[in-house]
Amino acid sequence: MNKQIQHINPDGMIKSPAFSQAIITQGNGTTIYIGGQNAVNEQGALIGKGDIEQQTEQVMKNILLVLSACNATFQDVVKLNIYLVQGQDARIAFGTAKKFMGDGTNPPVVTVLMVAGLVNPDWLLEIDAIAFTGQ
């Protein structure tokens, strides 16, 4: 299969190791849509009640599990949407998430939103993702 992921960071815009401005996917491949992940483990128990760093780590581990089940890695992720409950420190959440994103050479497109709340009042964030593989 032939796939191409092109990261677009035009002159005149910030060039960040944490996110790209745009991504173009072309060629034969598979697009993977990962639904919103929360900080729950395999048994459905919340990990890190009241702790945005622990919850972000669990969410990213869940995303990695889904990617692995789809024969993909975080290098295949082209888009992340991060939903943070108001009052949470976005810098802590984003810093923790970045640890899972690789070396920052070709980061995904990222949107971070502050929301009033999530379905479970103990959830502090939710993250969904889109990946593109050559499979």
Residue closest to 52 by CA, chosen among 18, 91, 80: 91
- Residues whose CB is less than 8 angstroms from the CB of residue 103 and which lie 6 or more positions away in sequence, other chains included: 17
**What per-residue confidence (pLDDT) applies to 135?**
65
pLDDT per 10-residue tile (average), the chain, 135 residues: 78 87 86 94 95 98 94 94 97 92 87 96 97 85
**What per-residue confidence (pLDDT) applies to 25?**
86
Q: Could you tell me the domains of the chain? A: 3-133 (3.30.1330.40)
What span, in angstroms and rounded, lies between the C-alpha atoms of 116 and 114? 7
**What per-residue confidence (pLDDT) applies to 24?**
87
What span, in angstroms and rounded, lies between the C-alpha atoms of 48 and 5? 35
- 8 A C-beta contact, residue 18 and residue 101: yes
**What per-residue confidence (pLDDT) applies to 3?**
65
Calculate helix-pair angle for 90-98, 52-69, nearest 10 degrees.
Answer: 40
